[in-house]
Amino acid sequence: MTGPVVLVTGCSSGGIGYALCERFAAEGCRVYATARRLEAMSGLAAHPLISLQTLDVTVDEDVHRVIAHIVAEAGQLDIIVNNAGFISVGPLIEQPLDNVKANFDANTYGTLRVAKAGFPHMAARRSGLIVNIGSVVAEIAVPWNGLYSASKAAVRAMSDILHMELKPFNIKVMYVAPVSVRSNISNNEAAKFSLPQGSLYSDFLPNIIQRMNSSQANSMPAEKFAREVVRRALKNPPRSVILGGTATIFKIFGWLPRGFVLWYLWRMYSQKTT
């Protein structure tokens, strides 16, 4: 085996992680695909360079077990891709605190938990790359997806900090902000979404649904997104990159006055329909 050894979290079928596993393997990497359920990744099982492991990134013992298994079997761990997480659509002020904690545990603490467990192995070899999959809404907050924005904003900040603090060990950190990438994440949320009983935002339900579906409008296929991420990761990883179908729009937002952008986005997602 000569290719890098890669761990990818959140690899359920139809998602970004699944496509990343396929692309890393196509480039000759030894890939360890993980998700909470093996059957969610069954389509990857036949690939000779992909191994499947169950992993819940919110459980310390799970994380250490998987990384110990990888190092024992492959002898090294070269790349960690922190992709696992979930969205929580709806008004931020009405999010149950249990849901807030669960979202941060998966999206934010889970990212750090996996990086912490892999760090000693990478530091010992003075080599490694940590790829954190964030979101463009960490940079430009959008109404009705505030909890996800907040948890991914923390991932964005952590990535910048790790980019600096892991330099002494020659470990690189690459932050990726997807925008309009085709996946099942919105469909999964739509299947369980509802406003709480007595919500003060019931008049805005059509806007919330509109926002939920907007991430798939003009979307980039997950396979194309994965190809671009893997190409960068295996060559000269940038500190950060925004990728997706509407990336140009959000790059422009980043140059405009913040107040104007927030006004524009609120106006876009608060117009009541009749």
Please list the active-site residues: 148, 152
Angle (CA) 189-194-195 rounded to 5° is 130
Among candidates 28, 76, 21, 13, which has minimal Cα distance to 225?
21
Distance (Å, whole) CA 211 – CA 72: 44
Amino acid at 39: E
Distance (Å, whole) CA 186 – CA 44: 22
Other Cβ atoms within 10 Å of 63 Cβ, number: 23
Q: Are strands 79-82 and 128-133 parallel, antiparallel or unpaired?
A: parallel
Distance (Å, whole) CA 70 – CA 85: 22
Do 151 and 159 meet the contact criterion of CB atoms below 8 Å apart? no
Distance (Å, whole) CA 120 – CA 105: 22
Q: What is the DSSP string of 41-105?
A: GGGGTT-TTEEEEE--TT-HHHHHHHHHHHHHHHS---EEEE-------B-GGGS-HHHHHHHHI
Do 89 and 139 meet the contact criterion of CB atoms below 8 Å apart? no
